[in-house]
Amino acid sequence: MTKILTLTAALIIAFSSIANAECGTRGGPGLRGPDGKCQSWDRVQSVCGLDGSRCQRERVNPLFPKLDTTPSHKLMECAHGLRNDC
């Protein structure tokens, strides 16, 4: 009985944390598109626009502190190593 309760509690905690995940928690740019989905680095420019105004920023990557003020096209270029000033 105790094992079942422990397993049930673990599953409830795991599922609730997955459901509440923010964009950017798995290494992405931290932008949620107008369709409600987290955007990948490859889709940032096409979905969010050059200035990122069509997407909502959620989680700032601590390794990239200027994320809030950086245009989305630069984010994509930095992620692909196309820029040296990141």
The pLDDT tens digits of the residues spanning 59-77 come to: 765 666 666 677 777 777 8
pTM, full prediction: 0.51
- Please, what is the Cα angle at 57 between 81 and 23, to 5 degrees? 75
> Is 48 contained in some domain?
yes
Number of domains present in the structure of the chain: 1
Give the pLDDT confidence score for residue 81 in this predicted structure. Answer: 81
Between 56 and 27, residue with greater pLDDT: 56
SS3 72: helix
| Structural domain includes residue 71 | yes
Is 13 a member of any domain? no
User: Is pLDDT above 90 for 34?
Assistant: yes
Give me the domain span that covers residue 70: 23-86
Residue 77 maps to a domain: yes
Mean pLDDT computed over 8-24: 59
